[in-house]
Amino acid sequence: MINTWAEIPKDLPGRNFLPLGANHIWNMYREMGYERVMELTSNLSTDFLYDAFKFRLDESIKTSKALMEGSLETAPEKTMTYMFFPAITSILTDLQQGLMKLVYGNSVDAAYVNVNDFTGELAYILNVHSEDGIPVDWWIIGQDDEIMNRRHRKLGYKIRELPKKSKGIVQCGERIKDILRDIRNERAPQWIGSEYLIAMAYGSATIELYAEQSNYESFKSIWSGLNSKRIYGLPDYWFTYVPMPSILQLFSLSERAEFIRKMAGLTTKGKFYLQHVEAEGKRNLKENFPELFELGIERVLEEMGIPLPAATLGVKAPNLKKKETWNKEKFEWIYPSKARFFKAEDVGMSIDEACSGILFDVDEKTPIDKKLSRSDIISTGIGRNTKLWK
């Protein structure tokens, strides 16, 4: 049974963002229905998120430390790791620190704030403090944390109430920043002069990015989130920063393909990366959220396939400013007709092996219909567990 967008209650805050999640979240809704998706995503507990972010941040920090100490066993220009912030996209180790400083500055607190698509309530906050482009402190709070009851000094609202008490996630982010800055100044007065930046995202955007295995496709989703109002005519942002870093503000005004091209250049020098899925997160999904693992990872790698960079750059988005698009639910993202989609079997790997992460000697100039092979692989794995192929 295929579920439709029209069946989703009109009062769900994240309803209109679903067409932006072309690869994952929209497929989940179509196959499982909003009630099942709501149940599953609501049960993605703080513990699960904590474990996932802990692995990613810890491994990225240890990899960066090994690089600076000269003990990294693999060439840094062939070793992928996670971005320090947000830890849902990937980057080459030798580019990590420089890009973080370029985007966020030398001393900054950055908080990733998730809003529940179904209730409009605050779901969780991940806070990272970086010095000279390296995280030195981080913490996460969930629904049951006492900090959620901390009140805004002037408005009197609890932090958990702010999404519903604000006109959009930008205003919400500004208010959350007021509270988090006070907390930061109390617990870490040595950083009182540091900048504070908030990344606001609906849960559906986070799920889309977490499940996305193509680095090129992940930047496509980020551009859509940053431009959900300007380009797609939606009432709010799917994903945005408060305030917006200058370089991202400039990049986001570019055409989608140019934004993807620039971000891929800054993170992988334009190379195509099949993103790593951590073993613990994979086990947790298989045991507790098997439908999410099947739809988000297995089916993609086995049946649907993953577009090569040239296909991602050439994809045509649905026109969400037209009523007909919504009335007839024409939400398909149309890839070039000659595009070939990568599958795990193309390189003779199982799903688990492919989930280890694969850096390909493939970029936007690679023919759109090329069938990838093992000879196209530069390295596999992530961080200190990277294995070089050539």
pLDDT tens across 116-148, in order?
Answer: 888 888 988 999 999 999 888 888 888 888 999
Domain boundaries, the chain: 42-273
pTM for this model (two decimals): 0.94
Can you give the pLDDT at residue 1? 65
Q: Looking at the predicted structure, is the pLDDT value of residue 234 above 90?
A: yes
DSSP SS3 for 11: coil
Least-confidence region, from 6-20, 165-179, 353-367: 6-20
Residue 274, beta-bridge partner list: 214, 358
Overall average pLDDT of the 202-231 stretch? 93
pLDDT at 207: 86
Does residue 253 carry a pLDDT above 80? yes
Please give the pLDDT value at position 144. 84
> Which token pair is 130?
């970086």
pLDDT at 185 exceeding the cut of 80: yes
Q: How far is CA 60 from CA 63, 88, 96, 374, in A?
A: 5, 12, 9, 26
The pLDDT value given to residue 13: 86
pLDDT tens across 43-60, in order?
A: 666 667 777 777 888 888
pLDDT at 311 over 70: yes
Residues 72-79 have a mean pLDDT of 94
Closest by CA position to 237, among listed 315, 163, 153, 288? 163
CA pair distance 176, 159, nearest whole angstrom = 7
Helix axes 25-32, 34-42, angle to 10 degrees: 120
Residues 286-324: b if buried by 16+ CB within 10 A, e if exposed: eeebeebbebbbeebbeeebbbbbbbbbbbebbebeeee
For 16, counting Cβ atoms within 10 Å of its Cβ (0-12 exposed, 13-18 middle, 19+ buried), the class is buried
Stronger pLDDT, 43 or 115, i.e. the higher one? 115
Helix (H) or strand (E) holding 51: helix 46-69
Please give the Cα distance from 52 to 65 (Å, whole number): 20
Give which of 203, 316, 199, 210 is closest to 248, Cα–Cα.
Answer: 199
CA 93 to chain centroid, in Å, comes to 18
- The answer, yes or no, to whether residue 38 has pLDDT greater than 80, is no
